[in-house]
């Protein structure tokens, strides 16, 4: 995109009143001098678009993966010619990554940053966190155990989802998984003060 726009600014930069006599009140004793300057500026391309720094590019990729997840888009949208054309129109320096990069390195970096921010928030909880379990079946008919951690202020963090479809779920397995998770959190210096599960028989027996 080339923007060859030139602005000619015409404005009054100075207005002075010369008074011939400080004590005179005659109308013709003062004259007004108005100086008008015209300045012609070059194209605004260098001010509107610019190349991305390393931090800018990192932030751009993070926003891309967040946009993809939030809108529920398939990863290959970044390979769409219309999408590339739009970003090139906004800024020729905004180059969309391909699908593999978006779903690989960029996604992994975003998850890593999110995990680090989550751990910091959980460690700093002055009271302790609540460990919550819930089971559900995904579109592939895989039985998953989802684990969400709630802070004392009620803020939820999705910690992990474990595929337990191949296991025989009894209260004994639930107890062992719960102990393992508490131990893992304690290693990270995260204090667990409560546990909440759904009403399935195995979880009810484990309680």
Two structure tokens written together for 142: 């895989």
pLDDT digits (tens, 9 = 90+) for 66-81: 999 999 999 999 999 9
Q: What is the pLDDT of residue 78?
A: 95
Q: What is the pLDDT of residue 71?
A: 93
**Rounded Cα gap, residues 114 and 196, in angstroms:** 24
Most confident of 13-17, 45-49, 53-57, 200-204: 53-57
Q: What is the pLDDT of residue 91?
A: 85
| pLDDT score of 194 more than 50 | yes
Interval 101-105 mean pLDDT: 94
Interval 133-148 mean pLDDT: 78
**Lowest mean pLDDT segment, chosen from 65-74, 77-86, 105-114, 160-169:** 160-169
Does residue 55 contact residue 25 with C-beta atoms inside 8 Å?
no
Using 50, 70 and 90 to split pLDDT, how confident is the model at 29? very low
Angle between helices 54-71 and 107-123 (to 10 degrees): 90
pTM of the model: 0.58
| pLDDT score of 3 more than 80 | no
Q: What is the pLDDT of residue 24?
A: 43
For the chain, the domains span 8-45, 50-121, 126-206
Q: What angle do CA 35, 38, 39 make, to 5 degrees?
A: 135
Q: Which of 191, 32, 179, 200 is CA-nearest to residue 126?
A: 191
């Amino acid at each position: 995109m080339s923007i060859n726009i030139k602005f000619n600014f015409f404005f009054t930069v100075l207005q002075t009143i010369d008074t011939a006599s400080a004590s005179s009140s005659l109308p013709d004793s003062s004259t007004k001098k108005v100086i008008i300057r015209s300045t012609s500026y070059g194209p605004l391309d260098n001010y509107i678009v610019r190349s991305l720094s390393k931090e800018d590019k990192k932030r751009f990729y993070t926003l891309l993966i967040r946009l993809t997840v939030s809108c529920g888009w398939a990863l290959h949208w970044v390979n769409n010619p219309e999408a590339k054309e739009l970003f090139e129109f906004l800024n020729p320096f905004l180059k969309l990554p391909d699908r593999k990069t978006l779903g690989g390195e960029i996604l992994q970096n975003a998850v890593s940053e999110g995990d680090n921010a989550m751990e910091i928030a959980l460690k700093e909880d002055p009271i302790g966190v609540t460990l919550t379990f819930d089971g559900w079946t995904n579109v592939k008919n895989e039985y998953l155990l989802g684990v969400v951690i709630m802070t004392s202020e009620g803020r939820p963090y999705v910690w992990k989802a474990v595929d337990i479809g191949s296991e025989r779920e009894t209260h004994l397995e639930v107890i062992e998984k719960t102990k393992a998770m508490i131990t893992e959190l304690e290693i990270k210096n995260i204090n667990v003060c409560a546990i909440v599960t759904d009403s399935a028989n195995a979880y009810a027996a484990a309680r």
